[in-house]
């Protein structure tokens, strides 16, 4: 159990036992149990046969509001009562953890075409119970009946709403309240995950019955965590991987000062040239092919939150989006199928817009922290387990950005940089820092690591949950 300065061991133990006692018999009785069973998914179109249970539905956040977040929960494939519980969040902001995380990356069912699903042999629910959450409202099937809510979204609202969701979800699934709980995510979840972790950490100090979460740590991948180093790393990565010329690279170095909000025209010209270098390839994996069907090729519909220097360029918003735009079409078609929605208990309010992997109705993000490094440091000091990973072929939040950001924290190295292995091959490299932070790379993977390296990502996830070191030899 995580110890907090104001909570003694015996007080924490008392509340842990109290919560466990409160769980007894609740899984099979009461209104919450009936709602749990109502959320069970039984006839999902195209689903391969499986033995584990999964649930989907809405959790209303607060009685006085009109907000409800949509989730899809998969029990672990074996012995779910003995496995940890993990919340997965995708980024954007405004992109779906179901359309991407569950259906395209690490869930047990991956969309193979507009009609069907295929079994993911390397699903993360092989080792954990996993909740995929569509957040904030306006993403996927999550909704609000007050349109004003869509104009008030930002980092703070998301953290607060995600916490309210968890409190409500644990009431519906009380038997999981005593499980070790972790959060994982990628991209802009580099904001979502630490910020939610901080809210949980502060909320746990009260240790109120029914709200204590057995929170142990988090893992974030190719994560936006510090604006200045993110931008510097993006530029250095593009140059070091032969995407931009010496002229463009030196022009940026000479004319740009990223610590300033407003840049010179010369800087803007060279940054525009950098972005232009990505227009014919996928910035999210510089070595992957893109969809060549012009009728299907999709440009980014994401609400992109990044330093103003990048977002002021129209070209930034028209870069090829995601791993495979053709596959994204299949995801959209599958989740717009009314039979699928019925099976998932989704779209109960009949939203006036179609399902899209990234929201088309969120137009504004009101607050985005320049850095979350202080939060990460705070939670390291609190004893949480924190792993950061990076697929090393991602140009959007590249490994250079993450390394620069971690270096900014000034942590002392505990275990030096070394290769780690999977199936006798180098899977990436890893370094461990004093205080509990682990940084790992995944060789040959892009922004969405589980898409490109499913076996390696499952190994990484498994070692994170067990707090075991990544394999240091081929055999």
Tokens read off for 67? 């907000």
Distance CA 269, CA 251 (A): 9
Kindly state the tokens that stand for 250.
């030196």
Residue of 54, 422, 447, 463 with catalytic role: 447
Question: Is 262 exposed, middle or buried (CB count within 10 Å of its CB: 0-12, 13-18, 19+)?
Answer: exposed
Three-class SS of residue 440? strand
396 touches 283 (CB < 8 A): yes
Cβ atoms of 273 and 243 within 8 Å: the answer is no
Task: From residue 426, give the alpha-carbon distance in Å to each of 121, 140, 414, 475.
Answer: 21, 37, 21, 11
- Rounded CA gap, 361 and 449, in Å? 27
Active site residue 23: no
Told to judge if 394 belongs to the known catalytic residues of this protein, a careful annotator would answer: yes
Catalytic residue among 97, 329, 394, 463: 394
CA 46 to chain centre: 26
Q: How far, in Å, CA of 181 to CA of 81, rounded?
A: 13
Catalytic residue selected from 96, 97, 123, 187: 187
Q: How far is CA 145 from CA 207, 348, 366, in A?
A: 32, 12, 20
Q: What are the beta bridge partners of residue 273?
A: none
Q: In angstroms, rounded to a whole number, what is the distance separating the alpha carbons of residues 440 and 388?
A: 6
394 and 222 in contact (C-beta within 8 Å)? yes
**Does residue 422 carry a catalytic annotation?**
no
Counting every residue written for the chain, the total comes to: 475
Question: Exposed (0-12), middle (13-18) or buried (19+): which is 10, by Cβ within 10 Å?
Answer: exposed
Q: Tell me the CA distances in angstroms from 388 to 84, 281, 327, 439, 440, one per residue in order.
A: 19, 26, 27, 5, 6
Residue bearing tokens 């140059």: 239
Please tell me what DSSP assigns to residue 150: G
CA 120 to chain centre: 19
Catalytic residue numbers read 187, 394, 447
């Amino acid at each position: 159990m995580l110890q907090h300065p104001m909570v003694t061991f015996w007080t924490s133990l008392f509340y842990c036992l109290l919560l466990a006692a409160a769980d007894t018999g609740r899984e099979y009785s009461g209104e919450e149990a009936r709602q749990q069973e109502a959320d069970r998914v039984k006839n999902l179109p195209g689903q391969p046969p499986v033995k584990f249970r999964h649930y989907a539905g809405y959790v209303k956040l607060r009685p006085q509001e009109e907000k409800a977040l949509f989730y899809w929960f998969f029990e672990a494939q074996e012995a779910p009562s003995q496995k940890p519980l993990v919340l997965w969040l995708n980024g954007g902001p405004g992109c779906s953890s179901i359309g991407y995380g569950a259906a395209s990356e690490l869930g047990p069912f991956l969309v193979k075409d507009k009609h069907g699903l295929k079994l993911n042999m390397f699903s993360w629910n092989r080792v954990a119970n996993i909740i995929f959450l569509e957040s904030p409202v306006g993403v996927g099937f999550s909704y609000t009946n007050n349109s004003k809510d869509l104009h008030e979204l930002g980092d703070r609202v998301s953290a607060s709403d995600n916490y309210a969701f968890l409190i409500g979800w644990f009431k519906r699934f009380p038997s999981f309240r005593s499980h070790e709980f972790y959060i994982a995510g990628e991209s802009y979840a580099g904001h979502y995950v630490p910020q939610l972790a901080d809210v949980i950490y502060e909320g746990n100090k009260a240790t109120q019955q029914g709200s204590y979460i057995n929170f142990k740590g988090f893992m974030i991948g190719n994560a936006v965590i510090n604006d200045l180093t993110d931008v510097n790393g993006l530029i250095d990565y593009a140059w070091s991987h032969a995407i931009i010329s010496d002229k463009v690279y030196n022009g940026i170095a000479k004319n740009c000062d990223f610590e300033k909000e407003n840049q010179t025209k010369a800087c803007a010209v060279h940054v525009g040239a950098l972005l232009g270098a990505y227009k014919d390839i996928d910035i999210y994996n510089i070595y992957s092919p893109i969809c060549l069907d012009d009728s299907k090729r999709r440009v980014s519909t994401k609400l992109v939150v990044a330093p103003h220097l990048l977002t002021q360029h129209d070209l930034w918003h028209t870069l090829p989006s995601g791993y495979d735009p053709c596959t994204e079409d299949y995801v959209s078609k599958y989740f717009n199928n009314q039979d699928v929605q019925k099976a998932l208990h989704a779209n109960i309010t009949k939203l006036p817009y179609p399902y899209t992997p990234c929201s088309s109705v969120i137009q504004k993000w009101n607050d985005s922290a320049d850095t979350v490094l202080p939060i990460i440091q705070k939670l390291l000091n609190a004893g949480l387990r924190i792993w950061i990973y990076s697929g090393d072929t991602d140009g959007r939040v590249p490994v250079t950005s993450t390394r620069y950001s971690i270096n900014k924290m000034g942590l002392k190295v505990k275990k030096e940089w070394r290769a780690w292995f999977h199936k006798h091959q180098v899977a990436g490299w890893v370094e461990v820092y004093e205080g509990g932070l682990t940084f790992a790379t995944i060789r040959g993977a892009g922004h969405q690591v589980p898409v490109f390296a499913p076996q390696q990502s499952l190994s990484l996830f498994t070692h994170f949950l067990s707090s075991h070191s990544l394999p240091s030899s081929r055999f």
